[in-house]
Each structure stands twice: as C-alpha cells, then as structure tokens.
C-alpha cells in the first residue's frame, strides 16, 4: 500500500437476504481467510448509492437497492500510510444469484458467501462491529472507531 495524504472513501453493503448476510473475501488470491461486506472505493462525481450498486454488481453479479446508511467504520495501516473510511448501507437484493462462474473484473473478490448469524459467529470478519450490527435493526448510523488493518 502506498502512502496517502487523505483517507480513502469506500462504500459497503449490509445485504441480508433470506436471513443470511452476504460476505466476500477481503484479500485476493487466498492471502487470508478474512471476510468483509462487499463494496469498494468511491469514484469522483458519482453518488454514494451509485458507487455501491456498481461495486456490488462487479464483485457479485447481484443488483441491489441501497437503503439508509447504518455504520461508519475506519481502518488504517499506519506502517504504510493507508487510512480508509467506509460507509455501510443497508441494502436489498433486487435481482441475481451468486454464481461460481462470476468473475470480479478487478480480480480481488474470488469468494462470495451467504452466511447465517450462527455462521458469522465463527468467521473472521472486519470491521469488528459487523458481527454486532449486521442483523440488528438500528436505524441510526453507528460509528466504529479506527481499527488497524489485518490480513
């Protein structure tokens, strides 16, 4: 990771469908077993919901509708100057199914999983607060303090 002057802004989806949360791999090429909510970096001059719809389609092949923001998370790698602010939105599945032959054009997301609350308890996920908030009904955005990036 390169040294950055400003935090990177990213959007992520908390997408629960049929009682299961969608998670993706956080690192490419099997580097880690860490999972996270799907999403990614925000492009300039594009609305946050539009960025999130694009990222979810690229990473999973799913079409979503974007609801309210529910979580703000920060993580960083102080050794390499990386700092990211993530905005999580509650989302709804509009169309599509996960498919083993779907390919993320950026080659980062290679694993996609629907996980139950019970499954989630036994997985490594980031941010730490995702396990607490994914299946909750909070309608006030929560702030998750700065976490150190991990692999």
The pLDDT of 44-50, averaged and rounded, is 95
Q: What angle do CA 122, 23, 71 make, to 5 degrees?
A: 95
pTM: 0.89
Number of Cα atoms under 13 Å in the Cβ half of residue 23: 26
pLDDT digits (tens, 9 = 90+) for 7-39: 999 999 999 999 999 999 988 777 888 999 999
| Domain regions of the chain by residue span | 8-148
User: Taking every pair of C-alpha atoms in the chain, what is the biggest distance, in angstroms?
Assistant: 41
Q: Of 109, 23, 15, whose CA–CA distance to 66 is shortest?
A: 15
Residue 146 pLDDT greater than 80, yes or no? no
| Mean pLDDT on 33-61 | 95
The pLDDT tens digits for 89-110 are 999 999 999 988 888 888 889 8
Q: Which residue has the tokens 């799913």?
A: 62
> Which region holds residue 107: left if phi is over 0, alpha if psi is between -120 and 50, else beta?
left
Residues pairing with 40 in the sheet: 11
pLDDT band at 140 (very low <50, low <70, confident <90, very high): confident
Q: Which CATH class is domain 8-148?
A: alpha beta
Our measurement of the distance from residue 122's CA atom to the centroid of its chain's CA atoms, rounded to an integer in Å, reads 18
């Amino acid at each position: 990771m390169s040294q950055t002057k400003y935090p990177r802004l990213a959007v992520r989806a908390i997408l629960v469908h049929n009682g299961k949360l969608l998670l993706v791999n956080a690192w490419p090429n099997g580097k880690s077993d860490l999972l996270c909510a799907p999403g990614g970096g925000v492009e300039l001059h594009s609305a946050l919901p539009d960025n999130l719809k694009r990222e979810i389609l690229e990473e999973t092949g799913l079409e979503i509708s974007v609801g309210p923001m529910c979580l703000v998370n920060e993580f960083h790698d102080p050794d390499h100057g990386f700092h990211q602010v993530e905005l999580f939105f509650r989302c709804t599945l509009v169309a599509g199914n996960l498919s083993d032959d779907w390919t993320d054009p950026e080659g980062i997301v290679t694993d996609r999983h629907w996980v139950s609350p019970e499954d989630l308890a036994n997985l490594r996920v980031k941010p730490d607060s995702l396990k607490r908030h994914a299946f909750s009904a909070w309608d006030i955005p929560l702030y998750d303090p700065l976490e150190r990036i991990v692999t």
